Structure formats: C-alpha cells, structure tokens
Structure 1
C-alpha cells in the first residue's frame, strides 16, 4: 500500500539519490551501503538496479523492514531510530549512506547527521534527498543546511554537490545532497 501511494504521488527521490550515488562510485558491487530510514525499500530497489549488491537497511519500523525484506535487495536489517542517539553500528562501517524521504514531517531530524558521518569511512559518501519545501516547513529540518555547513566547517565532511531537481514528490521539487566524509 505504501509503495503504491508513493508511486501515485510520483515519488522520484529514491531513483535520484541512487543515481547521484552511483555516479560518484566506481565498482558498485563491493561498496557497503546503508539505506537510512529505508522504509519499504524503495532506495534499495533503485540501488539494486544500478548493481549495488552490498546494501543494508535501517529503519525504526519493523513493519516497514518486513516489507523491505520481501524485495530481496538488502543483506542486513537494522531496527533502530535514527537521531542524535548513538546507533549500534561501529565507526567507519560503511562506504556510503543513502536516504530519501527521511526528513519528512515526524520522521528523522537534522540531528542525525553526526551519526551518519561517524558510521561512514573517511572518503565515503553520504547522499540524501529532501522535498525542497521541507527546508522551510519542517520543524526538524529548518536548520538542515546550516547544520550541514557547520559540520563542513568542523572538517567532518565536504559537500560535493547540492542539486535541486523537479518532481521529487506530488509535483514538489527536491534537493539532493552529496557529501564526502573526511
């Protein structure tokens, strides 16, 4: 049902972040990727189409993870809430993190960024997408870009690109960010 709703809304975020990540990577088969706020696995499906074979899913909802399991695109499933809390994932565990839709109202807030940086290896990539209007309307994300800039000033990561793209969902534009962890 959720996937059908997203399809009806014209949700293109998962395909966009998967393509941006793919363009930044070499041989994708061995790259270890974590799909954060993976939900039902829409990003995982897009990554699979692009030859990413070593992808894990993280989500706070077991019901969503159960749906994601049926898609056979993930190796491991991690049921944890993504926030300022320390995730039960070792430092430098992943080559990349990907996420789309995680910053929706009532979901993940910008205070998760430090955790994402911590679990990605130096030189690894973090690729995230958000509906552009959420940057002004979502209480948990109004400071997203200033927080991203502060983490860059602290020398934790470097922005590679920030791209506004049309038709993220329901006709609204999206923004996709690509960062390299330092």
Structure 2
C-alpha cells in the first residue's frame, strides 16, 4: 500500500504540472488524502508546522490571533492549531475538492479557492497575525514569486511559517539556488527577517523536512 501511495505522491509532485493540473490532481486525491498522508506515510509536516507557529506566537491571546492556512488542503495543520486553542483561522488552496473536505471539519472561518502566486489574493493588506504553510512548496506547487504576496497579507510583527520537504531545495530546479536566495533578498529589502531555519527528520519516513520562520517587518 505504501508503494501505491508513493506513486500517488510522485504524480501530485509533477514538476511540469500547471497550477490547474496540480489542482485537478488534488481534487482527485482529496477523498483519500488524509488517510494516505497521515496514516500510511506518517507525515510529521502538519505537526511540525503547527508547533512552530505556536512557538512563534507564544504570549498571544490564541482566540484573537488571526491565521491564514496557505495550501491548506483538507486542514491537517489547522486541526492541530485548533487543538492548541487557535480558532480564528482562514484557508486558501487551489483545490476546491480539498477545501470541500476541510469545510466539513468546521475549523475555518473563511475558505478561499485560489492559486497562491504573484497575483493578489482576495485579502486586504495586513490582515493576518500569522501564516502557516505546510507542503505548499513542492515540485509543481508554489514558487518564490508568491513570497511578497504572503508578506502583504500579514501584519507587521506577524509571522510566516513555511514547512516542506528539505530535499526540494536541492532536487527541484525551481527552488535550487532560487527559493532561499529570494527569501534573503526580501530580508535585504527590509520586508521580513528570519527567525529560525530548522531541518527535522522523517517529514515522512526517510525524508527530512524543513521549517523556516520569518517575522514580517
């Protein structure tokens, strides 16, 4: 069963896929996504992302903090945040099928079906206290051109937490020598500053993960 799941993951991480093609794959995958990711692959990414956001927001009044879950999928990160006491959470994802499943969990205030990239989302400037983004960066997924848009919708002093498979930084041409330099340029421009960069084992078995936390200036 694991082999079948790995094949599915390879399909969803097609580096040549268009945003629309990627969304269709996730629509098709949505019915079994939670079971495959959390049970069969024991993915630790959602937990690591939620824990890092909790740490960044230490001292905040949890029910008042407004969070945007980017590449929210079926809500695996938000479920953990809700258990930690964060209840004011919105979601954005390019797959309506995934959002339909997330809506049934009743963990989001607002669900936005849109692709996260350079174009403005239907969100006002400085809306959120924090962004959680788990697995949004992968082959055929979000690119570095989305970073200014993430910064735009977060209040000064807010946090952006990015969690993904560490190997993408080295194996995917769209990120190799591009993604982290783009992050550094935005810091040089005074838009945000890096708080932490941590690699952790077993994002899923045999694959390291990475969480990068930035504070918006």
TM-score bin (small chain): over 0.9
Q: Are 1:176 and 2:211 matched, yes or no?
A: yes
Structure 1 segments unaligned to the other structure (5+ residues): none
Unaligned runs of 5+ in 2: 1-31
**Larger relative helix fraction:** 2
How big is the shift at 1:170? 3.4
RMSD between superposed Cα atoms in Å: 0.9
Where has structure 1 moved over 6 Å in runs of 4 or more?
A: none
Distance 2:78 2:206 in 1: 23
Task: Give the alignment's TM-score, normalised by structure 1.
Answer: 0.97
The CA distance in 2 between the partners of 1:74 and 1:41, in whole Å, is 8
User: 2:47 corresponds to which residue?
Assistant: 15
Q: Which residue of 2 aligns with 1:167?
A: 202
Partner of residue 155, structure 1: 190
1:5 aligns with 2:40: no
Alignment of 1:6-155 (within 5 A): 6-7=37-38, 8-25=40-57, 26-142=60-176, 143-155=178-190
When normalised by structure 2's length, the TM-score is 0.82
Aligned residues between the structures: 182
Q: Which structure carries more strand by proportion? A: 1
